[in-house]
Each structure stands twice: as C-alpha cells, then as structure tokens.
Structure 1
Amino acid sequence: MSEDTELLHRLLHRDKGAVREFYQKYSMRLINFIRKRIASEQDTEEIAQDTLFAFLEGARDFTGRCSLNTYLCSIANNKIVDFYRKRRLKRIVFSQLPEGLEPLISELADPQKIFDNTLLKQKIKQVFNKLTPHYAQTLKLKYVEGRSVAEIAEMLSISFKSAESVLFRARKAFVKLYIEG
C-alpha cells in the first residue's frame, strides 16, 4: 500500500492524525502551486484552504488514477478559475459600461468556454427572477434598454443620486445572486 493510499484510507476512516498529516504534507505544495497563478497571498491561502477542504469533502471520489498531488492541483486549478471568474464578473457588473448586461457576462464566459449562450441566458433570467422587482426593473432599464441614469431617475420619479444608489445596490445584488448560482 503506497503512502498516499494509506493516508487516504486513514482520512476516509476519520483518523484525526491523518487530517493533520494530510495538511502538513500538501498545504505548502498547494500554496506554491497557487502562488504562481494568484498575486495576493491572502487569496492564495484561501484557495489552498478551499482546495484542501473540497478534497476532504469528496475524498471518496478519488480513484487513484493519478497521484494525490496531481488531483489536488486539479482541484486547485478549478478553484483558481472560479476565483478569476468571480473577480472578473464583479468588475464587469460594477462598471458603468454602456453595453447591455448579457454581453458583459458573455464576455466573461467566452474566453474560458464555461457556458454556452443558452445556459448563460437561462442563468441571467434566473438571477433576474430572484432580484426584487425594483432592482430587476432598474437593471433592465440601464442594461437592456440602454437608459441613462438621468432617464432612470425621471422614469422612477427619484433623484439622480437616488438612481445611482439604486443601480449600485441592484448591481451588487445581481453579482451576489449570480455568484451563488
């Protein structure tokens, strides 16, 4: 029985010492792997922790077709992709770009080949259905109809500053719901 197989066996049988050993053996390897792809040390450590935790949650799924280190790096790579996707989505949605909402998110998805257009449209519709009617209306006016903040303020009978504030909160709610999936 290899060292990794034995460690995995102990992890599956909830050996507390195995968790500590697993963490000591793989945490620095993962941090070094992630550090090459993520600039922030705090984000690097968080992704490493998320990776180790994700492995521990799904350890039963590990088939042994590759080394445990390779498997962990694969999980970490997926976490890194998620990190950049979420970061890019926040930047796009919080920006004041004049284009529609759907093209903004499509721009995010296309390079990574994560979603096809049909799935993306469905997800956007689902998020809009979860938003409060006021936020959904405000975002549709801005990004679907292309209205200016001044026009939105006039249509909603609120001040320009109030319209900016509502748009900010609506974007924030949209991002949160989109990320939560």
Structure 2
Amino acid sequence: MRDSINIFDSKVLKKTKVDDKNMVGRILKGDERALNYFYRHYNHSLYTYISRKIGQKEDIEEIVQDTFLATLDGLRDFAFKSSVFTFICSIANHKIIDFYRKKRIKKIVFSKFEEVEPLLSQLFGPEEALDGEILKQKIKETFSKLSPSYTLILKLKYVQGFTVEEIAQKMSISFKSAESQLFRARKAFTFVFNYGK
C-alpha cells in the first residue's frame, strides 16, 4: 500500500517508469497522485507540441488546459491502440482546429459590422448568408446592452487584436485586472448574446 501511495512522488519518478495502463487505471479510480503525475509528465511535451502551431503564450496555455480536460474525459474510452501521448496530441489537434475556427469567426463577428455579411458568406457559404445578416444584427444588439467598459475591452481584444498585456497598458490597469475584465466581458457578451438580457 505504501508503494502505491509513493509511486508518483517526484523522487520515485526518476527511478520508476510508470506504465500507461497502470497510470490511466489509477486516474480513472480517482487517484490524485496519478493525476498530478499525468499532468507533470505530459505538460511540457504538450506545451511544446502546441507552441509549434500556436503563437501566443496565453492561447497555448488555454489549449493545453482544454486538451488535458478533454483527455481526462476521453480516458475511459481510450483503447491503448496508440501511446497516451499520441492520444493527447490527437485531442490537441482538434482543439487547435477549434481555436483557429473560433478565432476566424471572432475576427469576423467583431469586425466592422458593415463588412460582416460578405465575410460570413465566405466563411459559411451562400446558403447561410441570411444567418449572417441575423448574426450581424444580434451582435449589434448585444453590444448595445453591454457596459461601455465591456464593449471597449472586447473591441481592443477582438477587433484591434491587442494582447492582454497591451490592453492593460492602454487601460492603465494591471495584467491580472485586464485578464479578469476580459473574462467577465466575454461571459457577459455570451450571456446577452444567448439570452438577450
């Protein structure tokens, strides 16, 4: 019992190679040490893998976290037909594709409103052009219901493309405050966009 508790301690890790099936089995049973090991063991490699395809540090970190969460959700169905890291990378690839798709859509929906419709037509195809018009109107309505500070920070980020650090400088606030305000602004935008209030 003592060995099973200590097997994921950092000193033991240097001497012991933990087998993937054993590690996954422990994670699925709720073993927190196995989960911590899993994260420490794959975090650097995953970060490096994603950083080859994504430029911004904060985006890389977000995709790393999303990938780990999705991996944990998928471990129960993992059949060990590949290595655990290959499985993680396949999930990361989907997250990277999602990231670029969302980034492209964000760029479109937060751009000048008169340009949204033709861009949406290019993105979604002519059969969905009407949806683009509806979306454009809905975005206008959403912004009109947000506080000016939320509208400002969202436009700085998604229209003008500033990093969180640059936004903090422009607004004369700390990085953490800018990050927090941006998080709340996105949440408010999503809520108003979905529920209209």
Query: TM-score scaled by structure 1?
Result: 0.59
Could you list the per-position Cα deviations for residues 119-168 of structure 1 after superposition, in whole angstroms to 9, with x for gaps in the alignment?
x679769968xx59x839xxxxxxxxxxxxxxxxxxxxxxxxxxxxxxx9
1:92 aligns with: 108
Cα distance in 2, alignment partners of residues 135 and 127 from structure 1: 10
CA RMSD of aligned residues (A): 3.8
What is the deviation of 1:45? 1.2
SS at match of 2:26: helix
What is the deviation of 1:41? 1.1
Find the partner of 2:123 among 96, 108, 111: 108
Q: In the superposition, relative to structure 1, how do residues 107 and 70 fare at CA in structure 2: closer, same or farther (>3 Å)?
A: farther
- Is the contact made by 1:38 and 1:44 (CA closer than 8 Å) also made in structure 2? yes
Q: How does 1:3-22 map to 2 (within 5 A)?
A: 3-22=19-38
Cα distance in 2, alignment partners of residues 124 and 41 from structure 1: 32
Which amino acid counterpart does residue 107 of structure 1 have in structure 2? Q
Show structure 1 runs of 5+ residues with no match.
Answer: 111-116, 137-167
1:63 aligns with: 79
Cα distance in 1, alignment partners of residues 91 and 131 from structure 2: 24
What is the deviation of 1:98? 4.6
Cα distance in 2, alignment partners of residues 106 and 69 from structure 1: 38
Higher normalized contact order (CA 8 Å, seq sep 6+, divided by chain length): 1
2:6 aligns with: none
What is the deviation of 1:68? 0.9
Q: How does 1:21-170 map to 2 (within 5 A)?
A: 21-96=37-112, 98=114, 101=117, 103-108=118-123, 131=138, 135=141
Count of residue correspondences = 136
Which amino acid counterpart does residue 93 of structure 2 have in structure 1? N
Q: In the superposition, relative to structure 1, how do residues 106 and 34 fare at CA in structure 2: closer, same or farther (>3 Å)?
A: farther
Which amino acid counterpart does residue 56 of structure 2 have in structure 1? S
